[in-house]
Amino acid sequence: MSDLLEDYATTPVPDGIHTSGYRLALINMSLAVGLPVMLAGIALVDAVGFGLALAMFALGGLVIAAIGWGAATVGAFNRLSSYMIISRVFGAQGAKLINPLFAMSMWGWFGVNLTLFADAMSDVTEPLRDGAQWPLEAFMVGGAVFMAGAAIFGFKALNALSVAVVPVWALVMVVLAVGVADDPGLVEQLPPSSWTLEAADAGISAVVGMLVVGAVLLPDFSRYARPRRAYADCAIAVVPAFALVLPLVLTVAALAGVVSGEANPLDVLQHFGFGAFAAVPILLSATIVNGINLYGCSLSLNSVFPAAREWQLALVSGVAGTLAAIFGIISHFIEFLEVLSLVFTPIAGVYLVDFYLMRRRTPYFEDRTGTNWLALAAVALAIAGTAALHALDWTLSGVKPCDALLLSAVIYGFAARMLAGDPQTQPRPAEPG
C-alpha cells in the first residue's frame, strides 16, 4: 500500500519511472473537457457574441498552451513537482506564501466542479427517486467522497482514469456537433459580437483563468516525462490538449447552447437526447478533474506541512472544497476565473525566467533557503502594474493575463541581472558527474 501511495511529493521522480507524452496528453485533455468548460463556452458566447467568443477561445487556448509548455518542460528537466520548484525559486519560506494560494484556488475549483456535479446528478437521478427529495448537499458530500479516491492514489490513478474520460467526452462532443450541424437555423441564431477591447480582454482572461492554474502546475505531471525526450513529450502533452481540444470543446459547447437555448450544460446534454446516460461523462470528468484538484492540493500543502502524508492532505482539501461548494462559489464563477488569471500568470513568469534565463536550464539540485524577496516583489508588482494599466485603459499585449506574465518576467529578469552578485539569483553549477 505504501508503494501505491508513494508519489514523490518532496523528492525528484527517479529516472527509471516515466511515462510517454501521449499518456500525459490524456490527463491534460481530461482538463479540457467537462461541465465547467461547457459552462464557460456557453456563458462567453452569451456575453460577447459568437464571432468574438470564437477568437477568444482560440487565443486563450494558445496562451494556455504556451504557458503550459514552458512550465511542463521545467518539471520534465527537474523531475520535481511544481510546488518543490516554487520552493527552489521563491525560497523555502517564500513558497509557504505562494503554495497555499494554489491550494485555495483548487479548493475553489473543487467547489465549482462539485456544484455542477451535484446539480447534474440530482436532475439525472430524479426519475429514480420516486419523488423523494434529496438535499443537494447530500450529492455534494457523496461526490466528494468518491472523488477523493482518485487523489489519494495520486498520479497512477489519474493516469489510468484519463484513459476512460477522454474517449467518452470525445463521443459526447461528436453527438453535440452532429446535432448542431443538423439545425437549419443555426446561422440566424448566432448572437452578434460586441467587438470591444474590454469585452475581448474579459473573455480571454476568463478562458485563460479557467486553466491557468493547471498550466502553471503542469510540472506535477510532466516530471514523469521521459528525461531524454523532455521537449517532445511536453509538446505532445500540452499543445493538442490546450491549443486544439480546449477551443474545440468551448466552440461545440457554445453552439450547442445556442441551438438548445439552454444556459445549463446538463440541460444542453438533455436537449440533445442524452437522458440518464449524461451521468456517465459527468461522473467521469468530475472525478478526474476534482481528483487532479485534490492531488494538486496535497502536493502544495505537503511543501508547507512536510510531516503530513499526501493522502491526509487530500482528504483535508476535499473537506475544504466541499465547503466552498456548499457556500456557493459557483455564483461567482467568471469573477473567480478572472482573479485566477491575474494572480497565477505572474508566478509562471517568474519561475520560467528563473530557470531558463537565470539558471540556463541548470536543474535545481539544492534547496533555496529563506525567502527570495525579489521573486515575491516581481509577482506583487506585476499584479499591481497590470491592474493599474487596465484602470488607465492601457495594455502591453491586449490581454490582462499576458500583461501580468510579461511584467513579472521583465521585472524579475531585469532585477535579478542587476543583482547578479546575490547568490540567491546566480545559477548553481550542475550536479557533479
- In this structure, are residues 286 and 114 in contact, taking their beta carbons and an 8 Å threshold? yes
DSSP state letter for 14: P
> Which span out of 15-24, 326-335, 344-353, 413-422 was modeled with the highest average pLDDT?
344-353
CATH, domain 2-330, list 1.10.4160.10, 1.20.120.1200, 3.30.9.10, 3.40.50.11890: 1.10.4160.10
Q: pLDDT tens digits, residue range 141-170?
A: 888 877 776 666 656 666 677 777 888 889
Query: Is the pTM value of this prediction over 0.75?
Result: yes
The tens digit of pLDDT for each residue in 373-411 reads 999 999 999 999 988 887 887 877 767 778 888 899 999
Residues 304-324: what's their mean pLDDT?
78
Q: Let me know the angle formed at the C-alpha of 301 by 19 and 367, rounded to the nearest 5 degrees.
A: 75
Residue 422 predicted with pLDDT over 70: no
Is the pLDDT reported for residue 195 higher than 70? Answer: no
Higher pLDDT residue, 207 or 425? 207
C-alpha 265/C-alpha 423 separation (Å) is 52
**From CA 357, how far away is CA 363, in angstroms rounded?**
12
Instruction: List pLDDT tens digits, range 106-143.
Output: 788 788 888 888 888 888 777 766 667 778 788 888 88
Instruction: Note the pLDDT tens digit of each residue in 200-257.
Output: 666 777 787 777 777 888 888 888 888 778 788 899 999 999 999 999 999 999 999 9
- Give the long-range contacts of residues 195-199, CB within 8 A, separation 24 or more: 195/51, 195/52, 197/393, 197/395, 197/398, 199/47, 199/48, 199/52
* Distance of alpha carbon 52 from alpha carbon 35, whole angstroms: 22
Q: Are 208 and 341 in contact (CB under 8 A)?
A: yes
Residue 186's CB is within 10 A of a number of other CB atoms, namely: 14
Q: Of 345, 332, 415, 418, which Cα lies nearest the Cα of 386?
A: 345
Domain range annotation of the chain = 2-330
User: Which residue in this structure is represented by grid cell 524577496?
Assistant: 373
